Structure 1
Amino acid sequence: MDAQSDEPMTIAVIGPSRFPIREPYAGGLEVVVAKEVAALRSRGHHVTLFAAAGSEGHDPRFEFTAMSGVAGFGDSFYPKGGYEADAAEFHRLMDHLAESRFDVILNHSLSHVPLIRAAEMDARMITTLHCPALAPMQDAFDQFGGLTGMVHAVSRSVLGSWRVPQGAEVIPNGVETRIWRPHPPSATTHTSGIPPRAVWCGRIVPEKAPHLAVDAALRAGMELDLAGRIGDDRYMRTVLAPRLRQAGDSVRFHGALGRESLVPLVARASVALVTPCWEEPFGLTAIEPLACGTPVVALARGGIREILRGQPGVVLVDPGRDPASALAAAVPVALTFDRVATARAAAAAFSHERRIDRVEARLRALPIGVAG
């Protein structure tokens, strides 16, 4: 098939193996994969999703089960033998893909196996880097070089933590503006005469640091809605839970929410607090509020610093020695921003359709049927 034609392509998408691709999404990676698959299918492409058990719209014959439902102290936790079992399932999938007829393989997994097997595929493989360097994947790049296939990265910041011999194209993530959009104001917005209310959403893990959002909201004299999946039991128990007890009714913890509940919670907040304590790869939980018109006060780390610098509706804060106080001090400025202009600018800069346009153009440019 001529790669430049408008004919539908046959695409394999390899998702992450730890959590299913379904609502409520476990994290930003799962969101990106779900929306990419849906968008490519809506454009007429034949897309097969390979993902964790419990996913929606995937091929259950090759689903990942080794880490499904495994509880631990962190999202990177592997039980004894878990990593080896996970890798074996990826090898089984790559055996299948090597014998199948796909035009292209889009790899969003965090496994080294697709990288070391890429040269065996008839289809071109593109791996997207969603997180800072992982040792087994980096070892694959170091050992196999360009034989690992083509590479995308969600930001220059995350790409900078990897050594990719063949180079990579940066294609930022996007948000579906038909979902993440302004909502009518409610009593939670500062325009109603009721005290402003902040929101924080994301994974409940140390690197996302929701405890800083609690501290900042209390120092700013604001109530806080906090939503997210507990990804680190120990952090929740020893760091966040004591703060929630101390805050009392000032902070409402909602747990993991599906989009029907999460979007209005974010869209009707007065301000969103974004509190990474690591070099954030991208910062989807900052883009989503902006698309709703909700201003953002964020610690300037990693992709947050890169992507949101100069973006309307954003106050970037130096993490410094007292990040909670710095966040609280920035809230009054954020409350003055024009919410309509904020949403309009975010939709223009971070449209999901714009991202898929770039991905599809990249796929159309590939010499289909020639691996490498």
Structure 2
Amino acid sequence: MTASSATNPSKLRIASVVTGSLTTPQPPGIIYAPIDLAVALTIGLTERGHTVTYFAPEGSSIPAGQLETGGLPPLKQSPHTLPILRTVTQAGRLERIDQAWTQALIAHMLRRAEDGEYDLVHIHPIASGMPLALSHPRVPVVYTLHDPISPWRKLLYTQFSSANQWLVSISQAQRAPAPDLPYAATIYNGVDTSLFPFSAAPGDYLLFVGRMQPNKGVIEAIQVARLSRQRLILIGTVGPEWQNFWRQQVAPSLNDQITYTGFVTRSQLYQYYQRAKALLMPIQWEEPFGLVMTEAMACGTPVIALRRGSVPEVLIDGQTGFIVDTINEMASAVEKIDAIKRTACRQHVEQHFSLAHMVAAYEKVYYQVLAAHDR
């Protein structure tokens, strides 16, 4: 593609990949947000006239675009790994096998891009993609950063950076540990508001949605419920590495006031969002985005969150919820949650976090990257 065609919008040929280990859609019982985002982006870009080839293992299906499997079978077909992988007991080995599967799919995609089949590629697993993309300097590569930039990630992104690779952060806060990486833009994750029906009439409970592990703040959510004397519903999965944490610190707190649903389907989750008085986000880490916040607000449910990570970018304090600094402040905010207009929460998502906004922003980045790459 020439620089002139990159700056004068023409229809693009885009290749996209998320993982080589999971099928799309995800197998039952597995939640992996990057897949949902990539599929939504594929649909949106296709609707705008672009040709998108989505790379995923055999058994996958997508509602738009073209599917390419490269003949790769999926590594995981259920919440449990394939039987042979249950023999892998050494820490970290499963992650290495997972990465090998994904890199095989990325390598196949990059070879085809090198042959001129695509104008650019969009890789979501950056740690798997960057070392491979170094060998394909003629291929423009865009990455979406889904995780916090920890020290080891910063080292990797710096070591394997090259002129053909650009990063998209999902919040400005995410950039803080490494502000000098080759960022193309910050693009917030979009929400399909048509899937999240608005509710003007909340129920009588607080809601916590997330994995049951310490950094998500489940213990702190329980503390807030006790301090405010409110019902609390916990929704999320317990990973194998957090079973002891669950048994020792969370499960003993469950009773009529504090209940746990376990894993729920997407349609069930929407209903829980709709009826909640507020979503609690007492996060104990630098959350790079926090999709549950925008999902809840899309249903009209305000959010009460600790001032960490992307929270100040996603919420408007006093308008779509409350941003607080302590658990006691969070409990106090529960008492005044009725002052938040649920319509304001919905409008905030429609205006700033819609899928249309996200798709248009990525399209703009693609054109900018191609123009820069052709110079």
Deviation string 1:316-337 (CA, Å, 9 cap, x unpaired) is: 1104xxx2x3322210122221
- Change in Cα spacing, 1:21 to 1:336, as seen in structure 2 (3 Å) is farther
Q: Write the letter of the residue equivalent to 2:332.
A: A
How far residue 18 of structure 1 moved from its aligned partner, in angstroms, is 6.0
Matches within 5 A, 1:339-350: 339-350=342-353
CA distance, structure 2, for counterparts of residue 283 and residue 349 of structure 1: 14
Matches within 5 A, 1:69-88: 69=79, 79-88=91-100
How far residue 135 of structure 1 moved from its aligned partner, in angstroms, is 5.3
How far residue 370 of structure 1 moved from its aligned partner, in angstroms, is 5.2
- Change in Cα spacing, 1:166 to 1:264, as seen in structure 2 (3 Å) is same
CA contact (8 A) 2:23 2:74 kept: no
Q: Write the letter of the residue equivalent to 1:140.
A: L
TM-score (norm 1): 0.83
Residue number in structure 1 paired with 2:174: 158
CA distance, structure 1, for counterparts of residue 12 and residue 130 of structure 2: 22
CA distance, structure 2, for counterparts of residue 78 and residue 179 of structure 1: 41
Q: Classify the secondary structure of the residue corresponding to 1:152.
A: strand
Residue number in structure 2 paired with 1:113: 128
Runs of 4+ aligned structure 1 residues displaced above 6 Å come to: none
Is the aligned partner of 1:204 residue 2:212? yes
Q: Write the letter of the residue equivalent to 2:37.
A: V
* Aligned partner of 1:59 among 68, 85, 93: 68
CA distance, structure 1, for counterparts of residue 225 and residue 318 of structure 2: 23
What's the C-alpha RMSD, in Å, of the aligned pairs?
3.1
Gaps of 5+ in 2: 82-88
Q: Write the letter of the residue equivalent to 1:262.
A: L
Is the aligned partner of 1:177 residue 2:193? yes
Residue number in structure 1 paired with 2:283: 276
Name the count of aligned residue pairs: 353
- Change in Cα spacing, 1:201 to 1:78, as seen in structure 2 (3 Å) is farther
How far residue 20 of structure 1 moved from its aligned partner, in angstroms, is 4.8
CA distance, structure 2, for counterparts of residue 78 and residue 281 of structure 1: 30
Q: Classify the secondary structure of the residue corresponding to 1:204.
A: coil
CA distance, structure 2, for counterparts of residue 311 and residue 151 of structure 1: 33
Q: Classify the secondary structure of the residue corresponding to 1:248.
A: coil
CA distance, structure 1, for counterparts of residue 160 and residue 331 of structure 2: 48
Deviation string 1:262-290 (CA, Å, 9 cap, x unpaired) is: 11210121111112110111111111111
Which deviates more from structure 2 when the two are superposed, residues 136-145 or residues 213-222? 136-145
Residue number in structure 2 paired with 1:233: 240
Residue number in structure 1 paired with 2:18: 15
Residue number in structure 2 paired with 1:222: 230
Deviation string 1:231-258 (CA, Å, 9 cap, x unpaired) is: x334344346754443312233222222
CA distance, structure 2, for counterparts of residue 212 and residue 64 of structure 1: 41
Q: Classify the secondary structure of the residue corresponding to 2:54.
A: strand
Q: Classify the secondary structure of the residue corresponding to 2:222.
A: helix
Matches within 5 A, 1:1-372: 1=1, 2-4=5-7, 7-16=10-19, 20-22=23-25, 26-51=31-56, 55-57=60-62, 59-61=68-70, 63=72, 65-66=74-75, 69=79, 79-100=91-112, 101-110=117-126, 112-121=127-136, 122-134=138-150, 137-147=153-163, 149-162=165-178, 164-183=180-199, 185=201, 189=203, 196-230=204-238, 232-239=239-246, 242-310=249-317, 312-319=319-326, 323=327, 325-367=328-370
CA distance, structure 2, for counterparts of residue 317 and residue 252 of structure 1: 24
How far residue 124 of structure 1 moved from its aligned partner, in angstroms, is 1.0
Gaps of 5+ in 1: 72-76, 190-195
Deviation string 1:131-186 (CA, Å, 9 cap, x unpaired) is: 1125554333322333460111001111112364434421112211111231363x
CA contact (8 A) 1:158 1:302 kept: yes
- Change in Cα spacing, 1:99 to 1:132, as seen in structure 2 (3 Å) is same
CA contact (8 A) 1:281 1:302 kept: yes
CA distance, structure 1, for counterparts of residue 183 and residue 368 of structure 2: 17
Which deviates more from structure 2 when the two are superposed, residues 234-243 or residues 144-153? 234-243
Residue number in structure 2 paired with 1:193: none
Q: Classify the secondary structure of the residue corresponding to 1:282.
A: coil
CA contact (8 A) 2:219 2:249 kept: no
How far residue 84 of structure 1 moved from its aligned partner, in angstroms, is 3.5
